[in-house]
Structure 1
Amino acid sequence: MRKIAIIIIILSLVSCNTEDNKLIFNEEFNEAELNTTIWNYDLGDGCPNLCGWGNNERQLYTKQNVIVKDGSLIIKASKKDSLYFSGKIHTKGKLEFTYGKVEVRAKLPKGHGLWPAIWMLGNDIDTNIWPNCGEIDIMEYVGREPHTIYTSLHNASSFGNTIHSQKTKIPTIEEGFHVYEMEWTKEAIIFYIDKKKVYTYAPINKNEKNWPYSKPFYLIINMAIGGNFGGPEVDDTIFPEDFIIDYVKVYEL
């Protein structure tokens, strides 16, 4: 109950009205460091419980590779000797919500082996293991496949495979900042890139296998290196590379 109360207080502090929807969370990274009342760090390589973060990824996550500077969040991918480093943050236990719109303005890194992502997981993942808990991938990009954005859903109906997914080709996606959005209601989950609808997931007969999306989820921002999806080959000449987030907004629909 205490965690729920904290979440409600935080949301009430940042709430304001917009033209169409109510803004319940607005992170513009204007502080001197990461706001840990909202964000948590994931650190290390996932061992011993989830080595390689479940995907044979190569990076070690560190706090030093998560930088807040000049109104932006910078997740830096770097390499020293034979080791790869990057950053991952999430809002589990601090900012969790059911339904709404997520809007993120971000600039992608470039390079074979990089795998930046903006995504969400069901908050019951500790007891309802993946993919049963549900996953919403608002934006995934892999450097080995330039000019392409993946928007995907994972749940028990796909057995963890990327079946409910859309690849969107945008020749200029690596140039400058772009806006990635996800609208989530009781009926559907809809994805947008720069205000253009790119994918809708709306199973007609919803059940616990294809629709674990009627409970709270939390936000995740990270950049993996290598792995089953991001690699396996990594171009060591690219480092360092930055995944830059301008803002993260959550609206009540």
Structure 2
Amino acid sequence: MKKISLILLLAGTVASAQVKKGKLVWEETFNGKTLNEKVWNFELGDGCPNVCGWGNNERQIYTKTNHRLEDGKLVITTKKEGDKYTSTRITTAGKKEFKYGYMEARAKLPVGHGIWPAFWMLGSNISKVGWPLAGEIDILEYIGREPHTAYTTLHTQAHHGDKASSKKTPIADIEKGFHTYGVKWTPEQMEFFIDDKSVYTYVPENKSEEVWPYDQPFYFILNTAVGGNFGGPDVDDSIFPQEYIIDYVRVYAN
């Protein structure tokens, strides 16, 4: 099989490109008293029977009660309740889906060994073609067992799981306060940004469906997982409860 050639532009310490945002086309500011279910769907339970452990041997059970809106922010609280972990996972599938643009969230992370918050996207055709052919865009993943580090990752049919196209970015103060996490998505490439600075660019030369499923709408997902293949396997129960606080989600035109 011919090796797929990629140009991977990794941000350096000398010069990191600043993101250029176009016109704001949609935003979620979480200013209401309850989550707007005309925009957001709740995904509930442990993923069974179709994808038990949500496909990653995760330990949490998702509920409708592990979140609140407070001071114009979404707060996802992850708890240890008896012998179970509970959390929240919401998506915009079928309600707010986007093709190309600059997607961004401003968020404050939960911390501790075993915690796994994320801001990510899945292809709208996933129910028809499945994962990973539908594609996945992980704008932010943070795992508590690797402090001071952010992950930005793309999963495709050709490169997924442990072989995904991914970049780990060291950020000394990532656990402190709010940071912005974004991706500039064009027909040619994906460029990821943290605090408006470029950290990783993905440019496949041969844009077959196996390496570039990104010419279709994608929807957003916000969640905090516990343990699992990536976040775990060990979990420090003393860290709970933990809060993942999202200030906003925005989409800008290119």
User: Is TM more than 0.5 here?
Assistant: yes
Distance in structure 2 (CA, Å) of the matches to 1:232 and 1:78: 17
Matched, 1:131 2:123: no
Distance in structure 1 (CA, Å) of the matches to 2:122 and 2:21: 26
Q: Which residue in the other structure is 1:197 paired with?
A: 198
Question: Gaps (5+ residues) in structure 1?
Answer: 1-18
Instruction: Give 1:160 shift.
Output: 3.5
Instruction: Give 1:20 shift.
Output: 5.2
Matched, 1:215 2:205: no
> Counterparts in 2 of 1:107-126, with a 5 A limit?
107-126=108-127
Instruction: Give 1:157 shift.
Output: 0.7
User: C-alpha deviations, 1:42-65, integer Å up to 9, x for none?
Assistant: 100001111000000000000111
Counting matched residue pairs gives 235
Residues 113 and 230 of structure 1 are in contact (CA less than 8 Å); yes or no, is this contact kept in structure 2? yes
Counterpart residue identity of residue 159, structure 2:
S
Residues 96 and 216 of structure 1 are in contact (CA less than 8 Å); yes or no, is this contact kept in structure 2? yes
Q: Which residue in the other structure is 1:13 paired with?
A: none
Distance in structure 2 (CA, Å) of the matches to 1:243 and 1:226: 16
Distance in structure 2 (CA, Å) of the matches to 1:159 and 1:204: 18
Instruction: Give 1:97 shift.
Output: 1.3
- Return closer, same or farther for 1:159/1:111 CA change in 2, 3 Å cut-off: closer
SS in 2 for 1:116: strand
Residues 154 and 160 of structure 2 are in contact (CA less than 8 Å); yes or no, is this contact kept in structure 1? no
User: C-alpha deviations, 1:17-54, integer Å up to 9, x for none?
Assistant: xx951211111100001011101001000011110000
Distance in structure 1 (CA, Å) of the matches to 2:246 and 2:216: 26
Distance in structure 2 (CA, Å) of the matches to 1:92 and 1:245: 18
Point out which structure has higher relative CO (alpha carbons under 8 A, 6+ apart): 2
Counterpart residue identity of residue 199, structure 1:
Y
Distance in structure 1 (CA, Å) of the matches to 2:122 and 2:78: 23
Counterpart residue identity of residue 245, structure 2:
I
Counterpart residue identity of residue 219, structure 1:
F
SS in 2 for 1:25: strand
Q: Which residue in the other structure is 1:89 paired with?
A: 90
Residues 154 and 161 of structure 1 are in contact (CA less than 8 Å); yes or no, is this contact kept in structure 2? no
Counterpart residue identity of residue 246, structure 2:
I
> Counterparts in 2 of 1:1-253, with a 5 A limit?
21-253=22-254
SS in 2 for 1:151: strand
Distance in structure 2 (CA, Å) of the matches to 1:79 and 1:219: 26
Q: Which residue in the other structure is 2:4 paired with?
A: none
- Return closer, same or farther for 1:175/1:162 CA change in 2, 3 Å cut-off: farther
User: C-alpha deviations, 1:65-113, integer Å up to 9, x for none?
Assistant: 1211111001111011101000100000000111011111000111100
For the aligned residue pairs, the C-alpha RMSD in angstroms reads: 1.0
Q: Which residue in the other structure is 1:11 paired with?
A: none
Instruction: Give 1:159 shift.
Output: 4.4
Distance in structure 2 (CA, Å) of the matches to 1:226 and 1:165: 20
Amino-acid identity (%):
57
Residues 226 and 234 of structure 1 are in contact (CA less than 8 Å); yes or no, is this contact kept in structure 2? yes
User: C-alpha deviations, 1:166-222, integer Å up to 9, x for none?
Assistant: 000011100000010110000000000001100001101110100000001000000
TM-score (norm. length: structure 1): 0.91
Runs of 4+ that moved beyond 4 A: none
Counterpart residue identity of residue 85, structure 2:
Y
Distance in structure 2 (CA, Å) of the matches to 1:52 and 1:159: 18
Distance in structure 1 (CA, Å) of the matches to 2:34 and 2:90: 13
